[in-house]
Structure 1
Amino acid sequence: MRIGLDYRPATSYPNSGIGRQTLALEQALRANPDVQLQLFSVAPEDHLIRRKAHCPRWGAPLAGVHRLPLRLKFEAGFLPGSLREAGVDTYIANFNMGLPLARKPEGMKYILQLHDLFQLTLTNAHGSQLKARVYGYTDKLSIGWSVKVADRIWVPSQYTADEVAKLFPQARDKTRVLPNLVLPYTDALADISDLQLPPRYWLVVGTREPRKNIPWFVAAWQQARQQNPEVPELVLVGAREHLQVAQQHLHGMHFVSGISDAQLHALYAGASRLWQPSYAEGFGLPVIEALAQGTPVAVANGSALDEITPPDSPRFSPTDTGALVELMKELALDHPVDSAPLKAWADGYGEQAYRQRFDELLGELR
């Protein structure tokens, strides 16, 4: 099989969730002896990615991959002809949209990797109301087109598969679950003493999107600390400005941003517990990353977090403040934790399981 992979997320945002899954796809494709891989991307005119990927002659800023004019220029102007010239028979687009905006050549197959549908179902963070309206409309058209023309849709959870079936009933039979790959962190953990964090803390990763539910969670944490001084201090990986002004300088709360992978995994390892209060998640990467470090987790129910979290981990409603306060008070005292089962659960999202499922799905297309 001669397979083309949309490499734009890995080129522009390699450390993002979608960028990491693009790299996982690349590695799985290169490991399959029946695959000849071709990469397709946009990049500045002097970028090194041009040495290994098919790129338009025109340059593009790395931060502009989601800009509509640039996307149209790539997906409608460059991609259709480039796929034909490269002799690609299967093309994978992997950031919720991005399949070529042209009539599909006879014999070519399209795969859409759809991480979630929150661009269509939720209010997301944008710079202005105008941007929100424009992106809302164009995302609906782009995702709708890619869902329509895809031969297969790969999603990271059954939750997302069910969401696809709700919004696009005609796509139910071509949707398959491919859980995300979460590689164990094998490098040395960073020394994070310069962050001046308390010796005991709870951790939350991600603050920007409203669905992360952080203001609500912080309010519950503040109540719990007022009622029980044993409730640990809270470390949030994200920007202070994503919270309400009244919450930005609470006693016992710490913000960390712009950190490396080594620092992030050191934060996981040092935390007493990771909390994931999102009311909507298509997967939940921080949960698996924390478990891989042997750190226990507590998650909100009602989304993909239900699937990816060990069954005996604490769960809570993402809307019931009183119940969350009581749970925080209950978990305030550390109890001995056997990290081995947590790490074993995380291994279920490792390379071996991912490659096996990936090869099964790829085999469907032969």
Structure 2
Amino acid sequence: MRVGLDYRPATIAPMSGIGRQVQALENALAQRADTELLRLSEAPLNHPQRQTALCPAWPSSLEHLQRPQVRFRFERRFLPATLREQNIDVFIATANMGLPIGRKPAGTRYVLVLHDLFQLTQRNFHRSLLTAIAYRFINTVSIAWSVWIADQIWCPSQYSCNEAARVFPWAKSKLRVLNNLVPAFSDTPSELPMGLPERYWLLVGTREPRKNVAFFIKNWQMCRQQNPLVPDLVLLGQPSDIAPELATLPGLHWLSGLSEAQLHALYINADSLWQPSFAEGFGLPVVEAMSVGTQVVVAQGSALDEVAPPAARRFDPYDGVQIQATILDLAQTPSSLDSHALIEWAQQFTEPAYLKRLDTLLNALSH
């Protein structure tokens, strides 16, 4: 089986959640004895990606690969011809959209990896209202086309499957669950970044409004004023993602651009990972934290309900009173969940289970 993999997310942002999932899928496909993997991407002319992936002859700027006109050129001009020339049996689009535009090559099956539909259902981060309106329209058309033409649609959680069935009811029969692969950290944890306190809580991902970071910080601040035992908060993200008056509060520590070894250390040394999002398609940081035995505290109402174990502390992401009660309680009496139980729970998202499910899905496509 010749499998083509849309590698653009890993080219653009290899350490992002989607970029890391593309690399995980790449490694899983490479392990299949009957599979020949071909990566398809765009890159600058001097980029090392061109040595391992099929790329268009034209030069591409990494900063512009997500622009609609650049995506259209790749998906309309490059992909259809390349899939035919390479006799691809299965092509996998990896970022909610991106299946080729035009007539499907005979004998080729299309898979869409649909992480979530938040581009359509949530208010997303954009620099201007006009940009937000334009991208909402373009994304709606792009995602709808890929959902329409896909033979199978792989979602990382039942929550994402349910949302896709709600928005695109006619595609319900195509939807399958393929939980994200969360491999063990390969690097030995490094020293923590300078300036972090001995005790801290961790929050990973701050850019999108659905992450609910500003509301959580407001409640965290009120709790700090009531009880000095409330730990400092380390945020993996950018201060510009929230209002300056919140981003500069005492006790907040902002980090970005960490290596895997630094991220590993950050998880291990955290008292707890907090995930206050009111919409998550999977919850990669939650599984990563549990994989090293760190306690997790999660919001209710999305894929976090599936990813976190039943005994994990949960709260209503819209209820400030409940959030504050949870913060004050855990500041005074840290969670007593057994770290070995957390590590064992996280095992269901490791490679053996992922490979088994991937085999099942690919075998179904070939029959």
TM-score range, shorter chain: over 0.9
Q: CA deviation at 1:337?
A: 4.8
Give the equivalent residue in structure 2 for 1:96.
Answer: 96
Give the equivalent residue in structure 2 for 1:119.
Answer: 119
Give the equivalent residue in structure 2 for 1:277.
Answer: 276
Amino acid at match of 2:139: D
Give the equivalent residue in structure 1 for 2:30.
Answer: 30
| Matches of 2:268 and 2:50, distance apart in 1 | 37
Q: CA deviation at 1:35?
A: 1.2
Give the equivalent residue in structure 1 for 2:80.
Answer: 80
The sequence identity of aligned pairs, in percent, is 52
1:205-230 CA distances to partner (integer Å, 9 max, x unpaired)?
11111000001000111111222221
| Matches of 1:306 and 1:111, distance apart in 2 | 26
| Matches of 1:247 and 1:42, distance apart in 2 | 38
Amino acid at match of 1:224: C
Give the equivalent residue in structure 1 for 2:154.
Answer: 154
What's the secondary structure of 2:349's corresponding residue?
A: coil
Provide closer, same or farther for how the CA distance between residues 308 and 258 of structure 1 changes in structure 2, counting only shifts above 3 A. same
Give the equivalent residue in structure 2 for 1:306.
Answer: 305
The 8 Å contact of residues 295 and 335 in structure 2, kept in 1 or not, is answered as no
What's the secondary structure of 2:111's corresponding residue?
A: strand
Amino acid at match of 1:85: E
1:320-352 CA distances to partner (integer Å, 9 max, x unpaired)?
000111111111133555211111111111111
- Find out whether 1:56 has 2:56 as its counterpart: yes
Give the alignment of 1:136-285 within 5 angstroms.
136-192=136-192, 194-285=193-284
Q: CA deviation at 1:251?
A: 2.1
In the alignment, structure 1 segments of 5+ residues that lack a partner are none
Q: CA deviation at 1:236?
A: 1.1
Give the aligned length.
365
Q: CA deviation at 1:131?
A: 1.4
- Find out whether 1:293 has 2:292 as its counterpart: yes
Q: CA deviation at 1:258?
A: 2.3
Amino acid at match of 1:133: I
**TM-score, normalising length from structure 2?**
0.97
| Matches of 1:46 and 1:146, distance apart in 2 | 31
In the alignment, structure 2 segments of 5+ residues that lack a partner are none
Give the equivalent residue in structure 1 for 2:19.
Answer: 19
| Matches of 1:305 and 1:354, distance apart in 2 | 18
| Matches of 2:151 and 2:339, distance apart in 1 | 41
RMSD after superposition: 1.2
| Matches of 2:315 and 2:299, distance apart in 1 | 5
Amino acid at match of 2:137: Y
The 8 Å contact of residues 201 and 234 in structure 2, kept in 1 or not, is answered as yes
Amino acid at match of 1:50: R
Q: CA deviation at 1:245?
A: 2.5
1:165-215 CA distances to partner (integer Å, 9 max, x unpaired)?
0000011111000000001113111111x4211111111111111000001
1:234-266 CA distances to partner (integer Å, 9 max, x unpaired)?
111111222222212222222122222211221
